Chains A and B, each alone.
Chain A
Amino acid sequence: MLKIENLHASVEDKAILRGINLEVKPGEVHAIMGPNGSGKSTLSSVIAGKEEYDVTEGSIIFNDEDIEDLAAEERAHKGIFLSFQYPVEIPGVSVTNFMKTAINETRKAQGLEEMPAKDMLKLIREKSELLEIDRKFLSRSLNEGFSGGEKKRNEIFQMAMLEPKLAILDETDSGLDIDALRIVANGVNKLKNKDNAVVVITHYQRLLDYIVPDFVHVLYNGRIVKSGGKELAHELEEKGYDWIKEEVNA
């Protein structure tokens, strides 16, 4: 589904990603961990098509198509979804209207008719129940004045609405209380099937108890320096990153 080869990316001539290789197959869950500033959010932004970053080398192949020249919205239309580490506030646009627009634009791009209002309402009801989101919440301006946890839960609500093929969850667990973490993880698991894939970026093993990864990667200094199974996350939780840094620097 996703194949990243030797990806180098920089911002204002400062290299941040320096040769990433990563392959994600349908049905898989990958976890990416790594110290602060190692490039995890940059990698997710580059996959989602943020123009600020220059891809200087390498390629991103999504479902056999090189997506380098695709705009962010085109990538979204193809099924890539990014749950932001820091969701952006959009004053004056309600959650509901934002979702309506996002869904109908995606349908338009796929050559489909707009979703009938009745179906839209039903979908919104269903997904907000899944994530235990109060209906009143949906008429508020998107993310404006939302608490940290509310923003994250809302990100997963949007994911549930859009049903992407590849979801990248950038620190979706941070800011969530224990109950919310369970609800959100449960939501992600319900949406998971053999045809889609999830990449979770996290600092904590805790989330991975709920969303169990098939692979765990450590990103350090713009490279994936170690990959393993879910036990790698336990090892990191126990020992921190120093041993990996030593291995790399040796």
Chain B
Amino acid sequence: MDLKDKLVSSFLAFENRVDVDTYVHDVRSDAIKIFEEKGFPTKKEEAWKYTSLNSVLKQDYSLFPQKESSIEYGDVKKYFIHDIDSYKIVFIDGKYSSYLSQTTHDGIDVCLMSAAISKPKYRLVIENYFNKAATKDSLSSLNTAFSSEGAYIHIPKNKLVEKPIQIIHFSTGSEAATMLQPRNLIVVDENSHVQIIERHQSLTNNPVLTNSVTEIFTNKRAIVDYYKIQNDSENASLIDNTFVKQKRESHASVHTFSFGGKLIRNNLNFFQNGERIDSTLKGVTIIGNKQHVDHNTLVHHIEPNCESHQDYKGIFDDSSTGVFNGKVVVEKEAQKTNAFQANNNILISDKATINTKPQLEIFADDVKCSHGCTIGQLDESAMFYMRSRGIPEKEAKGLLMYAFSNNVLSSVKIPEVKQRITKLIATKLGVNIGFDL
């Protein structure tokens, strides 16, 4: 039985196990129908032309890992940004781990999706927001159909949340192969500000497929900064579907750092519903071997006087492949839009490839939109210059590549996160960068 059939046929049993008597039940039932009809995307679809899920889908995944696995904090500490005080929502094989987590209901809700969809006090928020930003594509629908657990974050108005929130999904490899479908909902009300760090981490080399959906709502003048650290083990694949729905004068940024994993597809969508909205999408991808990272972004400018900034850097070694597909839509009413997009890439090996495609659909006439993509090799004359000063080839390469990706890091607002990413980049590039460039 292929994965699609397996998923569809397990739906009823799944729904019976969770609460059927909820608002989400109907949403799930509709979603499974969409998935059943559409199936997994194939390369025939324009948006999936350069990313094939075949190799990932052929595993015999366990859909609902049953074994309760526990892990010691000491063993996984390194996957946390542990040098800051933070809230933590941690899952092990899809199940909430209370002892690794630190949630709160003190003025804000930093807790679990499973609680939010079953308890009456969250009903209003769920009805107003759940599945209201996610699109009805097949993978998001698949996640919706099986949505039962994940992070639920609700920040009421006028709250500056001092501590960042870390959402971490561990998989232990207790099953031969595991599929996970976390579902996160983040609602930030007027004038509030929150910072979130998300990470998926497999602790073994057993195959893992994560199909995640995160919906983020930024209401009037809210600020959300979201950091995705994608540095998973070599048999872990991730399809990340993130939807950000912004109201007027809100600022939202998503930084995606992709270094590890087998296949990563980031579907990152921003919808601007109001004036003077600012959306920032940035990423650094550094991969090698046969890794594949696909950034598929959409910024939908609907109303006037808004901005969007996209800046993605990619460094590809060995036979790795990258895709950047950046779509910007500027509706007729969205005058004075300022939309910036850049995608710069370095191919270190002859066998690495990157497919980069900006897609601008502009219907307004008074806008400033710029986009540019470059694909280059390492600058040979710069390499010789550095080496002639005594910097070995490997370090010279590392330094050049680090400098190349550095301006994406400059907009990371949490110093500890920046430091961690710097370290990850240095490790990935095999250099010892003992200073902040």
B396 → A minimal CB distance (Å): 8
Say whether B393 contacts A71, CB under 8 Å: yes
* Distance of B183 from chain A, by nearest CB (Å): 39
Is A232 interfacial (CB-CB < 8 Å)? no
| Docked CA distance A105–B399 (Å) | 13
Residues of A near B399 (CB, < 8 A) are: 90, 93, 98, 101
Interface-facing stretch out of B303-311, B347-355, B380-388: B380-388
Contacts A90-B403, A92-B404 given; does A98 touch B382 at CB 8 Å: no
Q: Which residues of B contact A52 (CB under 8 A)?
A: 380, 384
Q: Are B387 and A72 in contact (CB under 8 A)?
A: yes
Complex CA–CA separation, A227 to B361 (angstroms): 68
* Per-position 1/0 for A70-93, Cβ under 8 A of B: 011101110001101001111111
Collect the chain B residues with CB atoms within 8 Å of residue A82's CB: 388
Name B390's contact: one of A50, A73, A89, A94 (CB within 8 Å): A73
Contact of A100 among B384, B388, B402, B435 (CB under 8 A): B435
Give the size range of B's interface with the partner: 20 to 34
| Interface residues of chain B: helix, strand, loop or mixed (majority) | helix
CB interface residues, B 392-406, toward A, < 8 Å: 392-393, 395-396, 399-400, 402-404, 406
Q: A76-B390, A93-B437, A162-B390 are in contact. Are A88 and B395 (CB under 8 A)?
A: no
Closest Cβ of chain A to B418, distance in Å, is 15
Q: A71-B387, A76-B387, A88-B382 are in contact. Are A94 and B437 (CB under 8 A)?
A: yes
Interface residue count for A (Cβ, 8 Å)? 34
A72–B404 contact, CB under 8 A? no
Most chain-A Cβ atoms within 10 A of its Cβ — which of B384, B395, B404, B406?
B384
CB distance from A104 to the nearest CB of B (A): 8
> CB-CB contacts of B133-146 with A at 8 A, as 1s and 0s?
00000000000000
Is the CB of B158 closer than 8 A to any CB of chain A? no
Chain A residue with the shortest CB-CB distance to B387? A72
B67 close to A (CB within 8 Å): no
Contacts of A166 in B (CB 8 A): none
Residues of chain A within 8 A of B388, CB atoms compared: 48-50, 72-73, 75-76, 81-82, 84
* Contact B392 A91, beta carbon cutoff 8 Å: no
Question: Could you tell me if B389 and A158 are in contact, using CB atoms closer than 8 angstroms?
Answer: yes
- A sample of 15 more A-B contacts (CB under 8 A), given A48-B388, A93-B403, is A48-B384, A71-B393, A72-B387, A73-B388, A84-B388, A87-B385, A88-B381, A92-B403, A93-B400, A94-B437, A100-B435, A101-B391, A109-B390, A158-B389, A162-B390
Can you offer 11 A-B residue contacts whose CB atoms are under 8 A? Answer: A48-B388, A50-B388, A52-B380, A71-B393, A73-B392, A76-B390, A90-B385, A92-B437, A94-B437, A98-B386, A101-B399
